[in-house]
Amino acid sequence: VKDPIRVVITGAAGQIAYSLVYQICSGEVFGKDQSIILHLLDITPMMGVLQGLIMEVEDISLPIVKNVIPTDNEETAFKDVDVALFVGAMPRKEGMERKDLLSANVKIFKSQGIALDKFAKKSVKVLVVGNPANTNCYILAHYAPSIPRENFTCLTRLDHNRAKGQIASRLKISPDLVKNVIIWGNHSSTQFPDVRFSTVVVNGKETSVYEAIQNDNWLKNEFVSIVQKRGAAVIAARKLSSAMSAAKAICDHMRDWWQGTKDNEWVSMGVISDGSYGIEKGLVFSYPIHIKNGKLSIVQDLKLDDWSREMIDKTQKELIEEKNDALTATSS
Ligand code: NAX
């Protein structure tokens, strides 16, 4: 068994963390031979709930978990961590304007960014899940300047998995036979789920999604809209936001970052833009990402037609507005 890595989960008393902790501790993400010290951060009023979670982790008795540290203190939470999963955020309450939500979250991510910068390992791999995920990640990175830019990501893997699921169910095939979907842009209803380069295996034969489905109208309209609005549909049905599927997506994202993607395959991740595909440099934008030896790279040279360019510009526009509002909120 390898020496332990330190993994922090924020919002650890919440519903996503409740599904996530077991998967992390079971070795599915970092490997069965990788021991773990788990740091669990939440706010002071949730410390009692967190104790319950810790009792459950103890009761599952997983061999790779060396220690579990519950805390409401940022220094303890981020001290020497190798992996930081930012799940906690201020939820939207009734009557709250988008701007109020943004400014509440900017405060949280500014404070946590400063602490991450000060206390975490410089090699820390960061994944932001709490919404608005892209912009929270932007603020976090902004306040943690000593950590390399390529170590910051936000979660769009749930959207990616939803897109695979929709294609698979339309073709009545298993989702693992759907390859190379892309989520471009914001983790919001302006995201662009793009299957123009995706392939599927039907009856043992690999073919493009457009050829297999033979309905461009469905792919350009209904499919896009279902994926964009899937989060809201789950809330409407469950009266709670996606949690089990979000936890699975977090694990997929981190496992692929740790272990890499296959040649000629990619996944979707929000990363700090280097200007690829004409996106403003510095924006946290979801791209097709290839991973080798722990290094993320944006897949290049995919052709954009007028329709896809327009879809990408729309989600970029929303992200620029969010970023500007967030920066205004930090300075006020
Ligand atoms: P919950 O409300 O169940 O849990 C959030 C937890 O965060 C709570 O325990 C709360 O006390 C804690 N928290 C609040 N402020 C904190 C702070 N300053 N420091 C540490 N902890 C703090 O939400 P849950 O369903 O677990 O969702 C968590 C976040 O994920 C939400 O922001 C949600 O919108 C977001 N999501 C993002 C997704 C994505 O794909 N990027 C998908 C799923 C999910 O909707």
Residue 100 has a pLDDT of 83
Indicate the range of 13-17, 57-61, 169-173 predicted with least confidence.
57-61
Active site residue 290: no
Ligand 1 pocket test, pick from 18, 19, 21, 43 with the greatest ligand atom count within 8 Å of Cβ, gives 43
Crossing angle of helices 15-25 and 47-60, in 10° steps, is: 30
CB distance 14 to ligand 1 below 6 Å: yes
User: What six digits make up the tokens of 228?
Assistant: 């964009």
- β-bridge partners, 37: 6, 67
Q: Is the pLDDT of residue 23 over 80?
A: yes
CA atoms within 13 A on the CB side of 73: 5
- If pLDDT is split at 50, 70 and 90, which confidence band does 98 have? confident
Give per-residue pLDDT as tens, 160-195: 999 999 999 999 999 999 999 999 999 999 999 999
Q: How far apart are CA 328 and CA 125, in angstroms?
A: 27
- For the stretch 277-330, pLDDT in tens is 999 999 999 999 999 999 999 999 999 999 999 999 999 999 999 999 999 998
Model ipTM value: 0.99
Q: Measured from the CA of 11, which atom of ligand 1 is nearest? A: 7
Nearest to 298 by CA among 270, 317, 331: 270
Crossing angle (nearest 10°) for helices 133-142 and 98-119: 40
How many C-alpha atoms does 147 have within 13 Å on its Cβ side?
31
Residue among 266, 284, 230 at smallest CA distance from 109: 284
Report the percentage of the chain scoring pLDDT > 90. Answer: 94
Q: Closest residue (by CA) to atom 34 of ligand 1?
A: 131
Q: What's the rounded Cα separation, in Å, for the pair 302 and 156?
A: 19
Nearest CA to ligand 1 atom 10: 11
pLDDT tier for residue 2 given thresholds of 50, 70 and 90: very high
CA of 33 to the centre of ligand 1 (A): 29
Question: Which residues touch 122 (CB under 8 Å, ≥6 apart)?
Answer: 146, 147, 148
Does the CB atom of residue 284 touch ligand 1 within 6 A? no
Please tell me the distance between residue 286's alpha carbon and the centre of ligand 1 in angstroms.
20
Length of the chain: 332
